[in-house]
Structure 1
Amino acid sequence: MINYPSSLPLPRLKDAAYKRQPNILRTEMSTGRARQRRKHLSVPTHMEATWRLRKDEATVFEGFVDHGVNLIDWFLMDILTPRGVVKHQVRFMKDPLENMKPISALVWQYQAQIEMKEYKAASEEEAVSTSLSPFTLDDFINGLTEALNSYEG
């Protein structure tokens, strides 16, 4: 898989916005209540991205867009998440060269919408360990075992 060029800066954080696609199926019941369930284990996340690049970086970026990924291929790019910067599989949903403008003679701005195949949120293990913090899963199980033993005795 192609990597986003390491010589280029990532999209500007100030202008970034993530939108996870809906993943809940809701069915209204005759009682007035509703049932909800997940539709899929993972759904794509869309990201609004803006780059401000020096003219030498802009040349590399344009080459990457036109010839490196051909606008339709998935590639690997670092994305900022609450867990830090994490590599994600992404592709352009809109050509960033459609919406470019010079900011000055030396700086160019590009905007695009990017699709992340799967946003890398905390894993199930990470969620459990942080929920139990400062205890471990073993501490939880031992405490539960002690509680059951004292309840039975």
Structure 2
Amino acid sequence: MATIPSWPATLPAPAIDGYSVKPKPTFVRTDMDSGRARNRRRFVTGATEFQQRFRMTQSQLAIFEAWFENEAFGGAADAMMPLITGQGKVMVQCEFTDTYQRTAVPGSKLHDVTLSLSTYSKLVPNG
């Protein structure tokens, strides 16, 4: 079995600014004849989509681009990524839903790399 590539320790954690999370519903809604609707749980775990931004130096950008192409196979492979949850920063198995977007930070030699990710991992503890 192949190992899942992990986010390199030399790269930064995701920035809070620009971070967004969109859990997919795990329930279905049924309209009733009375006009009322009912919700019922359909799945225990559903997909959660993330948008993350990482601010990188030129050398970190080179490491990221090499990792993305060679370890994550250009985004085709799952990867262990740092995600910000209610429990803090945790490493979660994710898949890329798109390729990365890179923009230069005006007035500096920094780059913002934005990733779109999805995970089916449970992000909240049972209880």
TM range (shorter): 0.7 to 0.9
Structure-to-structure mapping, 1:18-29, within 5 angstroms: 18-29=21-32
Shift of 1:3: 0.9
What stretches of structure 2 of length at least 5 have no aligned partner? none
TM-score, normalised via structure 2 length: 0.87
Tell me what 2:82 maps to.
78
Secondary structure at the counterpart of residue 47 of structure 1:
strand
Which of 1 and 2 has greater Rg? 1
What stretches of structure 1 of length at least 5 have no aligned partner? 125-153
Q: Deviations over 1:3-35 (max 9, x none)?
A: 111110122111101000122201111122222
> Which is richer in strand?
2
Q: Deviations over 1:68-116 (max 9, x none)?
A: 11111111122121112222111211111xx212225621121121112
Higher RCO, 1 vs 2 (CA within 8 Å, ≥6 residues apart)? 2
> Which is richer in helix?
1
TM-score, normalised via structure 1 length: 0.73
> Percent identity over the alignment?
20
